[in-house]
Chain A
């Protein structure tokens, strides 16, 4: 158990639908990062939140959005789902902004999204 909790573990939904993925960071960590891993794209950074505020943005589609709540958990919302959105979605956390020098990030076990 890495300390980063992602729910649900598996999700099957239809095209056009909307889903919400949830991530609870490791205790004490203020930053949450979201990554998408599909077979043809590898691990792609989507977005980072630090203490409730968006800090960095990657290749996140406009149909996707995220937020981090006061209790520091984060949600990734995916809407108007397409077949190509089928992927593993990982959340990671770190204590600060990501500039720490003494260790790396901690990843959760992911949510496998299948769009049919």
Chain B
């Protein structure tokens, strides 16, 4: 699976949009971008994923650049409860021995402050 690079930490004011970047310059054509978050020692929570089109759900939006080498997770109106570690993960779906696992990096610590 392709490696990802994320900033170590970010801050965001409550009520503002939080934009979390992720670089995945070695991503291949069949690999998806996934985002998970982990709130203080709880189990990781799935947020969103996409292949090449922008995606939106009730939690967030995912913007993937046209060359797919980077993406941005957008939390449109951040709240204090969005303070967490956010993980960007690239994973294939085409089978093989590695598609069954998620490889977590260090993630971005997002702190939402009042």
How many angstroms from the CA of A2 to the CA of B43 in the assembled complex? 9
How many angstroms from the CA of A55 to the CA of B97 in the assembled complex? 8
With A99-B93, A99-B95: A45-B103 Cβ-Cβ less than 8 Å: yes
Q: Does residue B28 face the partner (Cβ distance < 8 Å to A)? A: no
- Which B residues touch A50, using CB under 8 A? 100
Q: Does residue A95 face the partner (Cβ distance < 8 Å to B)? A: no
Query: Interface size (A, Cβ < 8 Å)?
Result: 31
B window 31-84: CB within 8 A of A: 32, 34, 36, 38, 41-47, 49, 51
Q: Which of B49, B97, B101, B105 has the most C-beta atoms of chain A within 10 angstroms of its own C-beta? A: B101
- Among A13-21, A61-69, A73-81, A104-112, the one that faces the other chain is A104-112
Q: Are A101 and B46 in contact, with the CB atoms below 8 A?
A: no
> A-side interface residues toward B, CB under 8 Å?
2, 4, 31, 33, 35, 42-45, 48, 50, 55-56, 58, 88, 90, 92, 97-101, 103-110, 112
